[in-house]
Structure 1
Amino acid sequence: MIRVIVVYDISDDKARKKVSDTCLDYGLDRHQYSVFSGLVKPTHLRELAKLLRPLSKEGQVTLIPVAADDWEKRVELGASKL
């Protein structure tokens, strides 16, 4: 499994909703309105990128794979509002 962070900035409401729904369909957790993370299989990461690619024409979508040891070193500050 690969930890992935998905970050997006899309102005079109329909495309933005589709990105959000797709991330949720892949079991990713929402951290902010346009930030998701979670564990996916390598094949699912490629599928996710393929599904999100057309939506990135409405803005920008970034998928960032994160090594497990780096994820464990993260520092979270403040309370989640979602």
Structure 2
Amino acid sequence: MVRLLQDPRKAGQPLLVLYDVQDDRRRTRVMAACKDYGLARMQYSAYQGKLTRTARLELETRLVKALGNSPGTIMVLQLEQAQLDTATTIEQLGDDDR
């Protein structure tokens, strides 16, 4: 059973994590960190969720360690709930997804 590093019942700010990491092992560490904090994968290299300020800082520290000296970029964006409420999502399922 996975133990989340933040209680999902705690209020938090919407967060978006985007990354482009070349090294497979480092990329796996970035993905694991996002999952450990309860973020949901929305694309191959994007996770979203809600984190408290403390959890966000912990996650950012872990992401820095995960990337190490490898080439790559990780962006952590804090959003406002209003941005998500007014966002438009366009999704087209491929034949394999139906």
Q: Scaled by the length of structure 2, what TM-score is found? A: 0.77
Identify, as 1 or 2, the structure richer in strand: 1
Report the count of equivalent residues: 82
What RMSD in Å do the two structures reach over aligned CA positions? Answer: 1.7
Contact 1:10 1:56 in 2 (8 A): no
- Runs of 4+ residues deviating >3 angstroms: 79-82
2:15 aligned residue (4, 7, 14) = 4
Q: Scaled by the length of structure 1, what TM-score is found? A: 0.91
Identity of matched residues, %:
28
The 1:75–1:57 alpha-carbon spacing in structure 2 relative to 1, beyond 3 Å, is farther
The 1:75–1:53 alpha-carbon spacing in structure 2 relative to 1, beyond 3 Å, is same
- Name structure 2 gaps, 5 residues minimum: 1-11
Deviation larger for 53-62 or 69-78: 53-62
Higher relative contact order (CA 8 A, sep 6+): 1
2:42 aligned residue (13, 28, 31) = 31
**SS at 2:35 equivalent:** helix
